[in-house]
Amino acid sequence: AQKQIQDLAPLRSEFIQVNYAKAGDLASLIKAKENSLLSERGNVSIDERTNTLLVQDTAEKLADIRRLVNRLDIPVRQVLI
């Protein structure tokens, strides 16, 4: 039943701006074979020029991906010497 709901859920597209991390690295995490955050119908593309992710998936999966990006897209601490 849950799979049927996912198969019928409308796909949405969303641009997610990445400020500190590399969009390509985040896309690799999102698409990882072992624990992909994408549904079977989902897709993620990157625009390297603007460091933006273009994600197409169900609303539920988009929320999970947004949470991951918000958690990992943080500035790296710099060490003073």
Q: Residue 52: which of 31, 38, 69, 71 has the closest Cα?
A: 69
Q: 60 in helix, strand or coil?
A: helix
Tokens found for residue 26: 């985040």
Assigned domain for 81 exists: no
Residue 63, domain extent: 2-72
- pLDDT higher than threshold 70 for residue 41: yes
Size (the chain), residues = 81
Q: What is the mean pLDDT of the chain?
A: 90
- Quote the pLDDT of residue 70: 96
Total domain count for the chain?
Answer: 1
Domain containing 32 — which CATH number? Answer: 3.30.1370.120
Which residues are CB-contacts of 61 (< 8 A; sequence separation ≥ 6)? 37, 38, 39, 42
Given a cut of 80, whether residue 8 has pLDDT beyond it is no
Q: What is the pLDDT of residues 56-73, one digit of tens each?
A: 999 999 999 999 999 999
pTM attached to this predicted model:
0.81
3-state secondary structure of 56: strand
Residue 80 lies in a domain: no
What pLDDT score does 34 carry? 80
